């Protein structure tokens, strides 16, 4: 019996090759899209899950409540945390801290930066990382020990066998020799850790060891059976007990109200809400949820298409069903037969889909920067998800046609000598499926349009400074604060085309923040805002608009904060420039009203010094478009700077960059030259958004293709069934354009109705997404109307070929039909 069912199914597919190709091809595309998105989602959710005992490892994350500032969620935590947690919570098996940064070494006679991680000696008790050489017990035995990954060892020594080799790190007086005591196997890319070079953290590098030092991450490993929720519940009382009060402005203040600590599972760090202080770029759980919805919708469209075509073809099998029933077939047997046929088609579609996924996975991974690969067995294998999707689509696609076909009554079919049967309501059912298909397609097209427009907008929106003709030299802390800066600045200005040079502690695409305690004039409450050091040339060089007052300069001794002794700073104060947002926060809506007024600022910590506002400048957007405009106070303090920005005009960018490199190597031969054009920095800032937008657009096109395949097949089937009707219409005088208009309107109606479903859903989703940006485009009806017109045009183009072919047919041949 089963063999007979299989033979019949294959014969039916061979007889209707176009129908089979469209049904199987459309379902394969839907399955492939779903599997690709599923692979990406599983990859994003697999971060750090490969680590041994990852279920017992947690990161201690901090929630900070700065005065008058939004709540900050950060992966960093306070310096004393590790020592106190280990002493007060015996439920913890091990506690470790990790501080990341850059150091310098020399390779082939040229300086180069290396990302390093400073850890304590318990690091490998928390993280059971795989060693290629050496062991966790001996790797961090002393302060001169160094652990490298295999790729870093090859990069430095040309071989992974680096055990015992010496590597010199640092520059100037900080240069030291380290001996390699361990070599780690390269970590997978799906990790929130950033480890290339590991050494014991030097306490001297952290002179400030108070609770306000959040320059490290802390990780804990729980003992077996210990509940993280129980520790989280005990942390608030513990914070009040161990975090000491600070003296702010001569008065004691409770610092425990500023911090809330909580344990985050290591496997949840990548997609968690805390993004600041992350070692690697965090994932976007909202984008992941969006892609999951797109996967479900795409697969749903494919299944709808499958059901629609199966139901349409089913009406032509009425006589076959009637004869089978007359010869004794039960309804259950017919249901099993038709479900089996559906599963055969689903199996063929799944095999084709897996072939597509095999080819597309490496390209998709390279496109979005993920280490994607397709495996069928083992952890993360695709075999069981693929089998589950195959069974679900086969059953869902065949369930309705099976029950629909099996209920045909033999007497009615054979008495009328019908080869086809159309039950009441069946056409409406197919029409409803087409409406939902195009509603999904229109919604995805409109959403893609909005997302792409927003992505272009945030890259071109006015940032408050002139972006073109700008070079940023990063990691220049030694140069900006050194004695030779003035000579270096003169050499840079001598480069043809260079017009200005400035130093700053707030660079383009900055991720770190420098928050200081402040107080408005006459106010009792405290504020907190960004306090950043610049030099006298920075604001003019960036061409930031001066709204009121003057800029900072060398002519005024009170402008130069770095040259003031602390006693003079507290007693006499300093001059500052604020942006529009900071002036408003101090209570001055009109920038001109702020000039000349004195506020109080904590330049060096919790002691507040008087600061006179001598100028107000326009707001600037140095960070991403998702971040709110930051209230900023600028002070003339070179010790707070670490980057150099260079303005050039009427010069070739490549020649300017080469000349800057030569000047840099003359004054900083031990530090690598890391300079980039501002346009490139901003472009990279939104690279992930562009990749997600392109991916979203690809799946939108896939959805449109699936909808068109279904519409094409239904149009073919419908025009075939209406051949006699069209012939009679032509005999009675109907013209070709009348027939075409009739058929075109029949297949345009579901597209028009689909807009009524798609527009509200897409508008709500896009409004919610746009609200995650501080600056955003207006959500106008244009994308939705254009998406509807585009879908209508595609639908008309899809069915026009059938309409014209049938309308031009000779009515004599049409009336001979049946």
Residue 744 located in a structural domain: yes
Alpha carbon separation from 427 to 223, 393, 432, 657, 802 (Å, rounded):
63, 22, 9, 68, 19
CB 739 within 8 A of CB 730: yes
* 370 shares its domain with 295: yes
Residue 277 located in a structural domain: no
CA separation for the pair 448, 169 (Å, rounded): 48
The two beta strands, 197-200 and 546-549, are unpaired
CA separation for the pair 554, 277 (Å, rounded): 35
Q: Which DSSP string corresponds to 525-573?
A: S-EEEEEEEE-TTHHHHHTPPEEEE----TT-GGGBGGGS-HHHHHHH-
CA separation for the pair 356, 349 (Å, rounded): 11
* 396 shares its domain with 493: no
For residue 640, which of 461, 770, 463, 515 has the smallest C-alpha distance? 515
| Domain end call among 685, 707, 726 | 685
* 29 shares its domain with 163: no
CA separation for the pair 539, 636 (Å, rounded): 11
* 497 shares its domain with 581: yes
Residue 278 located in a structural domain: no
The two beta strands, 632-636 and 574-579, are antiparallel
Tens-place pLDDT, residues 470-523: 999 998 988 998 888 999 999 999 999 999 999 999 999 888 888 888 999 888
Report the chain's mean pLDDT, rounded to a whole number: 83
Residue 49 located in a structural domain: no
CA separation for the pair 195, 184 (Å, rounded): 9
What pLDDT was estimated at residue 390?
Answer: 84
Residue 273 located in a structural domain: no
Which pair of tokens denotes residue 199?
A: 């050494």
* 307 shares its domain with 377: yes
Tens-place pLDDT, residues 553-566: 988 888 888 877 77
What is the Cα 692 distance to its own chain's centre? 7
Residues 529-563 as b or e (16 or more Cβ within 10 Å = b): bbbbbbbbbbbebbebebbbbebbeeeeebbbbbe
CA separation for the pair 583, 484 (Å, rounded): 35
Q: Name the percent of the chain lying above pLDDT 90.
A: 34
CA separation for the pair 473, 671 (Å, rounded): 12
Expressed as residue numbers, the domain containing 205 is 54-268
- Specify which of 326-330, 333-337, 619-623 reaches the highest per-range mean pLDDT: 619-623
* 489 shares its domain with 349: no
What pLDDT was estimated at residue 517?
Answer: 87
Tens-place pLDDT, residues 376-417: 776 767 788 888 888 888 887 777 667 766 666 655 555 555
CA separation for the pair 695, 634 (Å, rounded): 41
Across 10-19, 304-313, 546-555, least confident range = 10-19
Residue 182: pLDDT over 70? yes
Q: Higher pLDDT residue, 146 or 441? A: 146
3-state secondary structure of 633: strand
The two beta strands, 598-601 and 515-519, are antiparallel
| Domain end call among 685, 705, 726 | 685
- Phi first, then psi: give them for residue 50, nearest 5 degrees: -75, -15
Mean pLDDT for the stretch of residues 736-744: 67
Neighbours of 565 (CB within 10 A): 8
Across 453-457, 508-512, 606-610, 632-636, least confident range = 606-610
Across 328-342, 520-534, 684-698, least confident range = 328-342
Q: Higher pLDDT residue, 794 or 765? A: 765
- Specify which of 44-48, 580-584, 625-629 reaches the highest per-range mean pLDDT: 580-584
Mean pLDDT for the stretch of residues 635-651: 93
Residue 599 located in a structural domain: yes
CA separation for the pair 475, 462 (Å, rounded): 26
Residue 211 located in a structural domain: yes
CA separation for the pair 305, 24 (Å, rounded): 10
How many structural domains compose the chain?
3
CA separation for the pair 577, 616 (Å, rounded): 6
| Domain end call among 623, 657, 685 | 685
Mean pLDDT for the stretch of residues 339-362: 85
* 764 shares its domain with 699: yes
What pLDDT was estimated at residue 807?
Answer: 60
What pLDDT was estimated at residue 72?
Answer: 86
- Run of H or E residues at 790: helix 782-807
- Phi first, then psi: give them for residue 773, nearest 5 degrees: -105, 145
What pLDDT was estimated at residue 267?
Answer: 92
3-state secondary structure of 429: helix
Place of tokens 């579609």: 349
3-state secondary structure of 403: helix
Residue 818: pLDDT over 50? no
Q: Which DSSP string corresponds to 470-500?
A: EEEE-S-HHHHTSTTHHHHHHHHHTSTTEEE
User: Hey, what's the torsion of the CAs at 291, 293, 298, 303, to 10 degrees?
Assistant: 150
* 428 shares its domain with 505: no
Across 39-53, 81-95, 307-321, 508-522, least confident range = 307-321
* 681 shares its domain with 693: no
* 538 shares its domain with 452: no
């Amino acid at each position: 019996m089963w063999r007979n069912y299989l033979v019949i199914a294959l014969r039916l597919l061979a007889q209707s090759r176009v129908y089979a190709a469209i049904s199987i091809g459309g379902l394969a595309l839907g399955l492939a899209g779903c599997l690709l998105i599923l692979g990406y989602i599983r990859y994003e959710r697999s971060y750090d899950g490969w680590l041994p005992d990852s279920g017992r490892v947690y990161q201690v994350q901090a929630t900070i409540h700065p005065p008058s500032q939004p709540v900050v969620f950060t992966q960093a935590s306070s310096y004393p945390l590790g020592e106190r947690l280990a002493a007060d919570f015996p439920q913890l098996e091990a506690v470790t801290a990790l501080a990341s940064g850059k150091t310098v070494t020399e390779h082939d006679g040229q300086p180069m930066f290396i990302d390093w991680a400073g850890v304590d000696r318990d690091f490998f008790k928390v993280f059971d990382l795989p060693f290629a050489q050496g062991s966790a017990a001996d790797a961090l035995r002393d302060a001169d020990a160094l652990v490298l990954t295999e790729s870093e060892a090859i990069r430095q020594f040309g071989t992974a066998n680096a055990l015992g080799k010496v590597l010199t790190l640092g520059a100037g007086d900080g240069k030291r020799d380290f001996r390699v005591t361990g070599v780690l196997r390269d970590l997978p890319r799906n990790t929130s850790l950033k480890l290339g070079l590991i050494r014991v953290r030097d306490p001297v590098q952290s002179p400030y060891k108070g609770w306000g030092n959040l320059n490290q991450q802390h990780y804990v490993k729980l003992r077996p059976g210990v509940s993280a929720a129980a520790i989280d519940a005990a942390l608030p009382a513990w914070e009040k007990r161990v975090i000491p009060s600070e003296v702010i402005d001569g008065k004691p203040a409770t610092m425990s109200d500023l911090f809330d600590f909580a344990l985050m599972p290591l496997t949840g760090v990548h997609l968690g809400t805390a993004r600041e202080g992350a070692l690697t770029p965090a994932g976007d759980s909202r984008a992941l949820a969006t892609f999951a919805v797109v996967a479900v919708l795409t697969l749903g469209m494919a299944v709808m298409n499958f059901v629609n075509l199966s139901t349409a073809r089913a009406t032509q099998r009425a006589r076959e069903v009637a004869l089978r029933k007359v010869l004794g077939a039960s309804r259950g047997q017919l249901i099993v037969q038709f479900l089996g046929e559906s599963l055969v088609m689903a199996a063929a579609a799944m095999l084709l889909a897996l072939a597509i996924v095999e080819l597309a996975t490496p390209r998709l991974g390279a496109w979005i920067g993920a280490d994607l690969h397709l495996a069928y067995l083992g952890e993360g294998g695709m075999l069981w998800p693929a089998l589950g999707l195959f069974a679900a689509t086969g059953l869902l696609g065949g369930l309705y046609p099976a029950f629909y076909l099996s209920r045909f009554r033999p007497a009615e079919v054979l008495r009328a000598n019908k080869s086809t049967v159309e039950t009441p309501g069946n056409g409406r059912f197919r029409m409803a499926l087409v409406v939902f298909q195009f509603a999904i397609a229109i919604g995805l097209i409109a959403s893609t349009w909005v997302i792409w427009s927003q992505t272009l907008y945030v890259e071109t929106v006015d940032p408050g400074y002139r972006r073109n003709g700008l070079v940023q030299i990063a990691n220049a802390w030694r140069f900006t604060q050194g004695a030779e800066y003035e000579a270096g600045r003169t050499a840079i200005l001598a480069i043809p085309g260079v017009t200005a040079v400035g130093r700053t502690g707030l660079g383009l695409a900055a991720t770190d923040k420098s928050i200081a305690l402040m107080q408005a004039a006459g106010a009792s409450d405290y504020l907190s805002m960004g306090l950043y050091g610049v030099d006298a040339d920075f604001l003019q060089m960036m061409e930031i608009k001066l709204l009121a007052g003057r800029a900072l300069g060398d002519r005024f001794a009170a402008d130069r904060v770095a040259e003031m002794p602390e006693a003079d700073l507290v007693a006499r104060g300093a001059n500052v420039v604020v942006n529009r947002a900071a002036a408003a926060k101090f209570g001055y809506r009109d920038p001109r009203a702020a000039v000349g007024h004195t506020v109080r600022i904590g330049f060096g910590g919790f002691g507040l010094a008087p600061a006179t506002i001598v100028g107000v400048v326009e707001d600037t957007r140095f960070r991403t478009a998702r971040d709110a405009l930051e209230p900023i106070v600028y002070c003339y303090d070179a010790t707070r700077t670490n980057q150099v920005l260079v303005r050039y005009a009427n010069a070739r960018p490549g020649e300017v960059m080469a000349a800057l490199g030569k000047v840099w190597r003359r004054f900083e031969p031990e530090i690598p030259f890391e300079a980039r054009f501002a346009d490139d920095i901003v472009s990279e800032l939104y690279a992930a958004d562009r990749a997600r937008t392109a991916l979203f657009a690809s799946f939108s096109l896939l959805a449109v293709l699936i909808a068109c395949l279904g519409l094409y097949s239904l149009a073919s089937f419908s025009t075939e069934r209406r051949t006699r009707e069209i012939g009679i219409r032509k005999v009675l005088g109907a013209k070709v354009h009348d027939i075409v208009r009739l058929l075109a309107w029949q297949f345009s109606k579901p597209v028009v109705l689909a807009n009524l479903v798609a527009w509200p859903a897409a508008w709500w989703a896009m409004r919610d997404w746009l609200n995650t940006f501080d600056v955003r485009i207006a959500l106008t009806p244009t994308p939705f109307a254009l998406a509807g017109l585009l879908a209508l045009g595609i639908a008309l183009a899809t069915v026009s070929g059938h309409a014209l072919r049938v309308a031009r047919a000779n009515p004599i041949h049409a009336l001979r039909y049946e």
